[in-house]
Amino acid sequence: MLPLSYALRNLFRDKSRLIQTVGGSALVVLLIMAATALNGGMAGVLSASGSPRNAILIGTGSEESIQRSEVAAQLGGIAEAGIPGVLSALGTPAASTEIHYMSFLEAKDGTRGQGLFRGVTLRALLVHPEVRLLEGTFPGAGEVMVGRLAWRKLGIAEEKLQVGSVVKLDGSEMRISGIFAAPGTVMESEVWAVLGDLYMLAQRDTASCVVLRMEEAKDFSEVELFSQQRLDLELTALRESDYYSALGAFYRPLRVMTWITAGLVAAGAIFGGFNTLYAAFASRIRELATLQAIGFGRGAVFFSLVQESVIACLAGTLLASVIALVFLDGRTIPFSIGAFTVSISPQVAIAGLGTGILLGVLGAVPPAIRCLKPSLPKALRS
Amino acid sequence: MKTKLILALACASLSVISCEKKQAETSESVSSANPSLEKFFTEEAFADAEAIHAVKLKAKPGDEVVLRGQLMGRGKVFVDGRASFILGDPEKLTPCNQIPGDGCETPWDACCDDKELKLASTASIQILGEDGRVLDGGLRGIGGLKELSEVTLKGVVAEQSSTDLLLVNATAIHVTEP
């Protein structure tokens, strides 16, 4: 075996080639890490947003968008009385009548952004137990409560959405009563108001849905049965987790595009790497033949060449990891129904490391084989 | 020769995986069925069965009715794990597979008919246990019952029924055309 120091010394023989290899691999690894983190973040927020214990009753035909759904305002009462298995907390059934309404919020300085508004009652806290008030109070009439990531989704400065600030919703001034968290869910990007206010602001006399929290996930069949027994109400029952999974499927083309982009850049980088390493190894054919002549086997020389390439790519991986941690980790990315936080998790780091090693091996094998293919006398004379 | 052998082995392993998947799906649908539901299915059709729209006009809670229809009127006509389905009136509703050139993947939802017509031409059918609750166990597959199956059934109009809603507690079901 050739010593590791031989491979290390060779790396620094041509500094411009080294920069090219390290830079190229860093770019590819960074793209793969970003694609993994973005896809994981979006899929994670959508899957965490729906609980399998929650059932949603929406209007038939609106299965793909709660915002389009219309159900009778009194459905909550009918459902909690007619469906067995609904969770009850201190005698209050966990049945939340809600309005989901997409509109614009305007800050005091005139900046405005589009976001999702949810009209709720206190019962929403029974069906969405992940919601926690961080500051202030639950909204009353003329007030709203904002999710801690709502500023990112709305594109309004965070300091404009503090407790006590006044904002405009559809021309009506509303005071921010509180800030809430709902870790890892789309609710963190929403603005919640009392149901009565949203009936008025959205100019509707119907709700969007009724969310029921069941004692057990298997009790969902009771909700589905209710929707069939009450054909006159024209309802569809959905598991909340299924609703958000379906939304995840809607965003699949977007996620596929990020992978295709990363894949194309990676393919380009691999071919670029081939060229660089062909040139680097070809200029050393006689040296490699001499090593064989003095007793090093072809396998040992081949391994050393691959080692050289892998070390360069791992340096690129390290660089990409540092860039990802500094510039990507913790960033909030808005998308149409909310926002998610990018996290450079161990899985993302492993994806980056795997890509770096793969690039090093794939990039070195064909040029190494080509340079070691000629017979020893021919190589020594080249 | 070697390549052919590898290809043959790959195809064989894929077919084994595929068969295993089908077996798993079948066993799942069988396991969710309740054997006691089969006694509600009869071999003989009910000759005096009436169309849903006609029954809806006159039926009152507690009346015994004999209905004929087709499993349609919604995207999902069965309730998973419960003895219930939606029966549509083929004299009023048109499943999408009867519309030339319509490639709808769920023809039983009768999506080309309007909401009011669907409401007037569908009935909710359920099988109750002795405790008055809808029995556990799905009905799909029993007696060949599936979406768009033609059935005749005998039952009693449930108390919750109204002019807009026909809810029938079935006592006997005959699958005319699975």
**Contact pairs from chain A to chain B, CB under 8 Å:** 45
- On whether both A29 and A60 belong to a single domain, the answer is no
Structure tokens at B92: 């009023």
> According to the model, what pLDDT value does residue A274 have?
83
CB contact under 8 A, A224 and B79: yes
Between A357 and A47, the higher pLDDT residue: A357
- CA-CA distances (angstroms) from residue A114 to A175, A192, A229, A244? 18, 14, 38, 20
- On whether both A89 and A106 belong to a single domain, the answer is yes
Single out the residue in A215, A232, A259 at which a domain terminates: A215
Domain encompassing residue A310? 4-48+251-381
Q: Is residue A339 part of a domain?
A: yes
- pTM for the full model? 0.75
- On whether both A120 and A204 belong to a single domain, the answer is yes
Q: What is the tens place of the pLDDT at every residue in B92-124? A: 999 988 888 888 888 998 888 888 899 999 999
- E-strand spans in A32-150? 54-59, 71-72, 88-89, 92-93, 95-106, 112-120, 132-136, 143-147
- On whether both A174 and A284 belong to a single domain, the answer is no
- On whether both A39 and A73 belong to a single domain, the answer is no
Structure tokens at A359: 């690039």
Cross-chain CB nearest to B167 (options A60, A63, A229): A229
CB contact under 8 A, A225 and B134: yes
Per CB-CB distance under 8 Å, the chain A contacts of B160 are 229-230
Q: What is the tens place of the pLDDT at every residue in A315-346? A: 999 999 999 999 999 888 888 777 888 999 99
Q: What is the tens place of the pLDDT at every residue in A255-282? A: 888 889 888 888 888 888 788 888 888 8
> According to the model, what pLDDT value does residue B33 have?
63
Q: Is residue A186 part of a domain?
A: yes
A171-180, A263-272, B22-31, B85-94 — which is least confidently predicted? B22-31
What average pLDDT is seen over chain B? 82
Q: How many domains does chain A have?
A: 2
A87-96, A270-279, B14-23, B105-114 — which is least confidently predicted? B14-23
Helix (H), strand (E) counts: chain A: 13, 16
- On whether both A44 and A58 belong to a single domain, the answer is no
- On whether both A67 and A119 belong to a single domain, the answer is yes
Among B residues 64-103, those touching chain A with beta carbons less than 8 Å apart: 74-75, 79-82, 84-86
Compute the nearest-CA separation of A220 from chain B (Å): 9
Q: What is the tens place of the pLDDT at every residue in A7-30? A: 888 888 888 888 988 998 999 999
Single out the residue in A168, A193, A215 at which a domain terminates: A215
Among A residues 84-143, those touching chain B with beta carbons less than 8 Å apart: none
Q: Is residue A238 part of a domain?
A: no
> Quick one: DSSP state of residue B104?
-
Is the complex ipTM higher than 0.90?
no
Question: Given CB atoms, is A81 within the 8 Å cutoff of chain B?
Answer: no
Q: Residue B18 pLDDT > 70, yes or no? A: no
Q: Is residue A371 part of a domain?
A: yes
Q: Residue A371 pLDDT > 70, yes or no? A: yes
Structure tokens at B149: 């199956």
- On whether both A62 and A210 belong to a single domain, the answer is yes
> According to the model, what pLDDT value does residue B4 have?
52
Single out the residue in A215, A234, A260 at which a domain terminates: A215
What chain A residue is nearest to B74 in terms of C-alpha separation? A60
Q: Is residue A12 part of a domain?
A: yes
Q: What is the tens place of the pLDDT at every residue in A48-67? A: 888 999 999 999 888 888 99
Instruction: Give percent above pLDDT 90 in chain A.
Output: 61
Q: Is residue A312 part of a domain?
A: yes
- On whether both A170 and A255 belong to a single domain, the answer is no
- On whether both A59 and A28 belong to a single domain, the answer is no
Return the sign of the alpha-carbon dihedral for residues A146, A152, A156, A158. positive
Nearest to A273 by CA among A360, A353, A356, A370: A360
- On whether both A318 and A377 belong to a single domain, the answer is yes
